[in-house]
Amino acid sequence: MEAVAKLRNVPTSPRKMRLVADLVRGKKVTQALGLLRFEANIGAEKIEKLLLSALANWQQHNEEERIEDANLYISEIFVDEGRQLKRLRPAPQGRGHRIRKRSNHVTLKIDTKVEKLGSKHAKEVGTTENPKADAKS
């Protein structure tokens, strides 16, 4: 089951926020929370809060499952450009330079990772990827 959380109109530039988003994309939720906790970038604090919100959304839809047993990972995270506030700064000789105060929107999706048949966990259970190989031996 997938859970989604969105953060809109964050007053930092999308480029700075994408640096943090690239850091946690595809990682397990517990590992991503550990990375974000000690990241110095200002966007890490906001994405950490967004990840906790997505976890709460997932828990609300899957009350019977435990978060520790679900094998959750960040399936998708992307940063879109938000609105721009346009301001003028005084410049020499009566001119004005434009300042663009950028913002962004962050969307984060978490999902459960399903183990493949040939994975280490599946081999411990006793299933294999190729049933013909079992028949020959």
Taking the domains of the chain in order of start, what are their residue ranges? 3-136
Q: Read off the pLDDT of residues 15-52 as tens digits, 9 standing for 90 and up.
A: 999 999 999 999 999 999 999 999 999 999 999 999 99
pLDDT of 105 = 97
Q: Please tell me the pTM assigned to this model.
A: 0.79
Which residues have C-beta within 8 Å of that of residue 58, sequence separation ≥ 6? 1, 3, 67, 70, 72, 110
- For the chain, give the DSSP string: --EEEEEEEESS-HHHHHHHHHHHTT-BHHHHHHHHHT--SHHHHHHHHHHHHHHHHHHHH-TTS-TTTS-EEEEEEEEEEEEEEEEEEE-GGG-EEEEEEEEEEEEEEEEEPPPPTTSHHHHHHT--S-HHHHHH-
pLDDT of 9 = 96
- Per-residue pLDDT band for 67 (boundaries 50, 70, 90) equals confident
CA atoms of 13 and 126, how far apart (whole Å): 50
Pairing of strands 3-10, 72-90: unpaired
- Per-residue pLDDT band for 106 (boundaries 50, 70, 90) equals very high
pLDDT of 123 = 55
Say which residue, 29 or 118, is predicted with more confidence. 29
- Per-residue pLDDT band for 1 (boundaries 50, 70, 90) equals confident
Domain 3-136 has what CATH class? alpha beta
Whether residue 126 is predicted with pLDDT greater than 60 in this model: the reply is no
- Confirm if 76 and 108 have CB atoms less than 8 A apart: yes
